[in-house]
Amino acid sequence: MRNKPTSSNQKQFSLKVTEAKPLMEFLSLKLPDYSKTTLKSLLTHRQLFLNGEIMLVQHDYMLKPGDRIDIRSSKGERGHVLDHPSLKIIYEDDAILVVDKKEGLLSVRTEKDGFETASHLLNTYMRAYGRGSHIYVVHRLDRDTSGVMMFAKTKEVQEILRDNWNDLVQERTYIAVAEGVFEQAKGTIASYLTEDVQKKMHSSLKDNGGQYAVTHYEVVAANKKYSLLKLNLETGRKNQIRVHLQSIGHPVTGDTKYGGSNSPAKRLCLHAETLKFKHPVTKKLVAFEIPVPTSFLRLTGLK
């Protein structure tokens, strides 16, 4: 096959998508000379990119007509894989690490919890492959929130990201299953958030000295019990989405801390789907997407 790479020194080749298909089905049709093991290896070693921006990590990602799949070589350090069921590295360079964090894993260690955190696992990974001894936290996801998360590999890059977060980050999209049916298909929630002594956040429409927070939401699908939401953040406050949805009477399902009932999905139904930002060093616009958990789609009748 003419465009099949024969060594890790090959840079890239691309495939055009002409009809909607799951990723692995598409690759099997377009690359008949590749075994199933080889195709899975491309995914495992983070060599598949959507439209030059999004690193693909799910075998059943649904492709659309007009999409382009770039297949890149595994040359260099991207060939190493962090072997942990709750954390996958989906992008790595000299400045940053981008990961897929599963629900149930803390982002960073707290006084009450042990070392099984995303930051600890990444520090161990860094030492194991001679990349240094430390990674630096840029932002956090709640323990029971899944999805895309970024870390810095140097203190300098951490400071660049933190000091310029609002300028560098172009999009942060979350997906949630909220309880009940929304009267409006789109809306914005804005309020002041404060934290009590029990570490629980509270929302107030009046300026009470708390942190101002803004959340935009759109209803993607709904049934009589649940609504699937796409949410974009203007601000990144602690528990922002959870307390905002509680404040309008539609808590996240599974979020018993903020008024939600126990979820049939057996988890907090909140997922960080997309993170799009200007790279802190190269200034190139990059985007990473972790597809919506199937359990969310089942709850709202989409699967």
Structural domains in the chain, CATH included, are: 12-72 (3.10.290.10), 80-163 (3.30.2350.10), 167-303 (3.30.2350.10)
The per-residue pLDDT for 8 is 37
pLDDT value of residue 133: 66
> What pLDDT sits at residue 76?
36
- The position carrying tokens 């999905």 is 265
pLDDT tens digits for 117-129? 999 999 888 887 6
Strand 54-55 with 62-63, pairing: unpaired
Q: Is 142 a catalytic residue?
A: yes
Residue 139 token pair:
């932002």
Q: Quick one: pLDDT at residue 91? A: 83
Helix residue ranges per DSSP H, the chain? 23-30, 36-44, 118-128, 155-163, 165-168, 240-247, 294-299
Backbone torsions φ then ψ of 260, nearest 5 degrees = -85, 160
Q: Angle at CA 229, nearest 5°, toward 254 and 167? A: 110
Q: Which of 79-83, 161-165, 282-286 shows the highest mean pLDDT?
A: 161-165
Q: Which of 70, 100, 142, 144 is catalytic?
A: 142
